[in-house]
A and B are shown apart, each in its own frame.
Chain A
Amino acid sequence: MTNIPPVAGGKVFFNADTVTDYHYGQMAACNIDSGAEAWHVGPTPLAQGGNPAISIPRNTIFWPEGDGNVWATDITTGHVKWVFHGGYCVMGATAVASSMAVDEERGWVLGAADTGRLFVLDMDTGALVKEAYLGVPSWQPGNEQPVSGFYFPGYSAIALVPAQGIFYISGTDYDRAWKGQFSRGREKLFCYNYVSNSTTLTQLWEYQFLGPEWYPPPYNANKSPEYIVKGHDPYQVAGYSLSSPALVDGHVYYGSWNGHVYCFGDPY
């Protein structure tokens, strides 16, 4: 159990990855006082999904899994309301490792897959409202899924600002990922508008983190201040761990693989 447990309605919810064996998953609800299990859904084919989010008005928990699906489940009964396939990255054997975020007023739940796909879903039906690919501003609905050139969030979670219709998420570049532990990738923080366009999401800005203290000259094809995120071998379940932005008083806080911490926004 590697997620932060959400709490609602006298229950605490656990998205576990130790059912049957290491790679199966389940979502379970326990009584908050006694720990008695109220219900569980699963086992699911692959664990190590992202962190769930809850809509209290809709009495629903949305939980992403390692098989690429997002599950919407009634928090009282454990009844599965709908399932949406967000995407599965074969190279990394990971899927929706990023966490869900809820825009209650618009009735949307947002997610991101390790295929680079950003998606906005209708919370009541699971229908796809709009989509885009992280770090590929030129992508438009109807285009093929990018096979290269995109970023993906790993365990980095979306941080949402419903009042402005924007969110922040970090990612590392797919083209340098899963080439082995000694291959390092880039790290960027992105800001997206998820409201203004009816079919896709609009990238507003990005910031690339550099690590000159970790990777000083001389540089070569694999050693550069921009290559800072530790790699993994291919075809194994090894999710990428990036920090997640925190949003406070109009400012974005973020810590990077480069050993720096940042605050984005206007002067206080």
Chain B
Amino acid sequence: MKGRKFLLISVMALFVVTGLYAALLVPETGATDYPWPSWRHDLQNTGAAPDSGYPTTLKLLWDKTRPNDPFNIKPSRCTTPAAVGNNIAIFTGNDGIVEARDQYTGELIWSKLYLWLDAPPAPAGAPADWCQGSDPDISGSNLGICGYKINGQCPSWCYECSDTPFDCSQVDLIRGLDLSGVGLGVFVSAATIDLEASPPRVYFGTMDGRFMCLNLLTGESLWSGTDDGGTTPHPWREPWRAPGGPNVGRPWYDQKFAWHLSPPSVYNGKLFFGSFLPSFYSIFKQFPFVMDANNHPIASWPSFNTNYKMYWVGRDGWTYCANKDTGDILWSWDPGG
């Protein structure tokens, strides 16, 4: 009996301590006086703070080390803007790390790691010469050398052509983005904090075509379901797969995904966000000093074969409007690419 009483007291004490600890960790709602909920501050992107008292001399209050980049085992690089609201500062960046920190102390509240998704399946239907005639590298050991002659001629944009046709079977159409399976964190866009939602939320996209909605306080996912039919316990949406979206029915549908590189805007229950066109092959190709036979410029990111037919594995670059509660796409707009 004495042992049970001691156990009961111990458990109650644990609850009290745990509760106090949780109370310390979970910030008080709305305590940030002048939040900066997204890059550029507000829906008009004024980039202007409405208050004052900012440091006019150098005063470092805190300096915190980010969780390790899972690939390099070094602090994850932050190249994206911070967002701060509800006492929480959100930092994202290059290496798949999303972290929430206490606005006042910098202490870590929660963090998430997003690795690159598996690469899309290799596209069917690419002709054997899809990579021949491709534009030249302008740096490295293949400086100015094109894949092969076109119609027996070395194209004018090439310094020289290789003597033998390039074997396209040795080149992966999606090699530039096949970053899965090696524990590499995906680039995570800057975040937007939604203080009107309850609980408050954070939205962001990734470079492998995902879009997320998390509970700002805990980091838990709020949208349900995925667009690929998967059953991950931490679901996301993939706008490029959206039913009725821009890619449905287009060639190589399964290889298309967009890079989401910017935070969204949130307005009247809707999210607005863009995407960056990914032509997966040749993403490391160079500036397009490429002209066609009529001296008209053509894009160099896609590869093209000996008939100037261009091969793009992925192509999106669309702008999306989504329901902020579900992630469902309401409309999309093609900028004309």
A interface, CB within 8 angstroms of B: 1-8, 12, 14, 16, 18-23, 26, 28, 30, 32, 34-35, 37, 51-56, 93, 99-104, 157-164, 166, 168, 180, 191, 193, 204-207, 213-214, 233, 235-237, 241-268
Assess the B40–A99 pair: CB atoms within 8 A: yes
Assess the B44–A252 pair: CB atoms within 8 A: no
Instruction: With both chains docked as a complex, state the minimum distance between the C-beta of A19 and any C-beta of chain B, in angstroms.
Output: 5
Contacts of A163 in B (CB 8 A): 49-52
**A-B contact list, 28 entries, CB within 8 Å:** A1-B274, A6-B44, A12-B321, A14-B319, A22-B337, A23-B288, A35-B321, A52-B45, A53-B46, A102-B48, A161-B52, A162-B49, A205-B56, A205-B58, A213-B74, A241-B79, A248-B32, A248-B34, A248-B36, A248-B89, A253-B82, A255-B79, A255-B81, A259-B65, A259-B76, A261-B99, A264-B59, A266-B61
Instruction: With both chains docked as a complex, state the minimum distance between the C-beta of B187 and any C-beta of chain A, in angstroms.
Output: 10
Contacts of B81 in A (CB 8 A): 157, 243-246, 255
Assess the B45–A54 pair: CB atoms within 8 A: yes
Assess the A100–B47 pair: CB atoms within 8 A: yes
Please judge, given known A-B contacts A18-B317, A248-B32, A266-B61, whether A8 and B54 are in contact too, CB under 8 Å: no
In this complex, what residue of A is CB-closest to B300? A22
Q: How far is the CA of A1 from the CA of B263 in the complex (A)?
A: 11
Please judge, given known A-B contacts A12-B272, A258-B77, whether A244 and B48 are in contact too, CB under 8 Å: no
B interface, CB within 8 angstroms of A: 32-36, 38-41, 43-66, 69, 72, 74-84, 89, 91, 93, 99, 101, 103-104, 106, 138-139, 190, 192, 261-265, 267-268, 270, 272-277, 286-288, 297-299, 301, 317-319, 321, 330-333, 335-337
Instruction: With both chains docked as a complex, state the minimum distance between the C-beta of B28 and any C-beta of chain A, in angstroms.
Output: 13
Instruction: With both chains docked as a complex, state the minimum distance between the C-beta of A200 and any C-beta of chain B, in angstroms.
Output: 17
Assess the B54–A166 pair: CB atoms within 8 A: yes
**Chain B, interface SS category:** loop
In this complex, what residue of A is CB-closest to B92? A255
Assess the A266–B40 pair: CB atoms within 8 A: no
Assess the B44–A8 pair: CB atoms within 8 A: yes
Instruction: With both chains docked as a complex, state the minimum distance between the C-beta of A220 and any C-beta of chain B, in angstroms.
Output: 19
Instruction: With both chains docked as a complex, state the minimum distance between the C-beta of B31 and any C-beta of chain A, in angstroms.
Output: 9
In this complex, what residue of B is CB-closest to A3? B262
Assess the A101–B272 pair: CB atoms within 8 A: no
Q: How far is the CA of A258 from the CA of B84 in the complex (A)?
A: 20
Assess the B277–A30 pair: CB atoms within 8 A: no
Assess the B82–A258 pair: CB atoms within 8 A: no
Please judge, given known A-B contacts A161-B54, A164-B54, whether A261 and B274 are in contact too, CB under 8 Å: no
Instruction: With both chains docked as a complex, state the minimum distance between the C-beta of B317 and any C-beta of chain A, in angstroms.
Output: 4
Contacts of B63 in A (CB 8 A): 260-262
Select A268's contact among B101, B104, B287, beta carbons within 8 Å: B104
In this complex, what residue of B is CB-closest to A255? B78
Select A264's contact among B43, B60, B76, beta carbons within 8 Å: B60
Contacts of B331 in A (CB 8 A): 34-35
Contacts of A253 in B (CB 8 A): 36, 82, 84, 89
Q: How far is the CA of A241 from the CA of B50 in the complex (A)?
A: 26
Assess the B47–A243 pair: CB atoms within 8 A: no
Q: How far is the CA of A249 from the CA of B41 in the complex (A)?
A: 13
Contacts of B274 in A (CB 8 A): 1-3, 5, 14, 16
Q: How far is the CA of A243 from the CA of B77 in the complex (A)?
A: 10
Q: How far is the CA of A267 from the CA of B106 in the complex (A)?
A: 12
Please judge, given known A-B contacts A22-B301, A35-B333, A51-B39, whether A250 and B53 are in contact too, CB under 8 Å: yes
Assess the B262–A101 pair: CB atoms within 8 A: no
Instruction: With both chains docked as a complex, state the minimum distance between the C-beta of B70 and any C-beta of chain A, in angstroms.
Output: 13
Instruction: With both chains docked as a complex, state the minimum distance between the C-beta of B185 and any C-beta of chain A, in angstroms.
Output: 12
Assess the B288–A7 pair: CB atoms within 8 A: no
In this complex, what residue of A is CB-closest to B321? A35
Select A93's contact among B59, B272, B287, B299, beta carbons within 8 Å: B287
Instruction: With both chains docked as a complex, state the minimum distance between the C-beta of A3 and any C-beta of chain B, in angstroms.
Output: 6
Assess the B36–A35 pair: CB atoms within 8 A: no
Instruction: With both chains docked as a complex, state the minimum distance between the C-beta of A195 and any C-beta of chain B, in angstroms.
Output: 12
Select B34's contact among A28, A102, A191, A249, beta carbons within 8 Å: A249
Assess the B335–A19 pair: CB atoms within 8 A: yes
Assess the A18–B287 pair: CB atoms within 8 A: no
Given contacts A23-B288, A244-B82, 8 further A-B contacts (CB under 8 A): A18-B336, A99-B47, A158-B47, A214-B75, A244-B81, A253-B36, A255-B80, A268-B104
Assess the A233–B60 pair: CB atoms within 8 A: no
Assess the B44–A246 pair: CB atoms within 8 A: no
Instruction: With both chains docked as a complex, state the minimum distance between the C-beta of A121 and any C-beta of chain B, in angstroms.
Output: 14
In this complex, what residue of A is CB-closest to B287? A236
Assess the B62–A263 pair: CB atoms within 8 A: yes
Please judge, given known A-B contacts A22-B277, A164-B56, whether A259 and B75 are in contact too, CB under 8 Å: yes
Select A161's contact among B49, B65, B139, B319, beta carbons within 8 Å: B49
Assess the A104–B46 pair: CB atoms within 8 A: yes
Select A257's contact among B79, B190, B287, beta carbons within 8 Å: B79
Please judge, given known A-B contacts A1-B317, A14-B335, A248-B35, whether A8 and B66 are in contact too, CB under 8 Å: no
Q: Which of B74, B83, B264 has the most CB of A within 10 A?
A: B74
Select A250's contact among B52, B74, B267, B333, beta carbons within 8 Å: B52
Contacts of B54 in A (CB 8 A): 161, 164, 166, 168, 247, 250-252, 265
Q: How far is the CA of A55 from the CA of B44 in the complex (A)?
A: 7
